[in-house]
Amino acid sequence: MRYDMNGPEQPVPHTAMEARDRVRFLLGSAGLAGVGPDGDDVLTDALLVTSELATNAIRHGGGITGFSASVSENGLRLSITDPSGDRPVTLPRQAGAFLAGGFGWPLIQRLSHSVTVTLLPAGGKRITVLVPLAARPAATDRAGNLDAALGLGDAGLDLDLGLDRVSRRSDAAS
């Protein structure tokens, strides 16, 4: 079964909160919000990706000019269009330096199965993501323990490793 939130009867959201509310309603309509052991994580990941995409379109892209969300057996497919032709970038990080911002794009890439940036012929871009709607298994060693070598117990280490890995995946996919 497929659930959509598209069409001319749905005005484009103007804020990240409006975009999140639409996705929350869509997931609830599909019976996915807060259901089962993965429900809260599914909702949190979907709303985080929605919020970051919408915020980036508003802050860096000149506003949201198009919005589409649908749920299928593959996950949440979300597209947000803005008038800027600039592709998103991942800011380089230096150890010990704190930058305000710059975490949204890597989080979007990390939480999504696929990320596509399409430059539109009339100008602007559309970013389409597919967010899985089931929990991802944690990496474990052969004994079933969380793999400490992956830095899963150290959020800072895991985040740094993940951002580097995600950035390369995005560049190759764009």
* pLDDT recorded at residue 96: 72
DSSP code at position 150: G
The first and second tokens of residue 23, run together, are 């996705």
- In the predicted model, what is the mean pLDDT of the chain? 73
Three-state SS letters, 65-92: CEEEEEEECCEEEEEEEECCCCCCCCCC
pLDDT one-digit tens code per residue, 104-130: 888 999 999 999 999 999 999 999 999
- The CATH code for residues 3-136 is 3.30.565.10
- Strands across the sheet with 66-72, in order? 3-5, 66-72, 75-82, 125-131, 114-119
pLDDT one-digit tens code per residue, 29-67: 888 766 555 556 778 899 999 999 999 999 999 999 999
Tell me which of 173 and 77 has the higher pLDDT. 77
Cβ(85)–Cβ(124) below 8 Å:
yes
Strands (E), the chain: 3-5, 66-72, 75-82, 114-119, 125-131
pLDDT one-digit tens code per residue, 92-108: 667 776 666 667 888 99
The first and second tokens of residue 126, run together, are 């559309």
Reported as type and span, the H/E element at residue 172 is helix 155-173
Query: With 80 as the cut, is the pLDDT of residue 150 above it?
Result: no
pTM of the complete model beyond 0.75: no
pLDDT one-digit tens code per residue, 66-91: 999 999 888 999 999 999 998 987 76
- Residue 74 CA, chain-centre distance (Å), reads 15
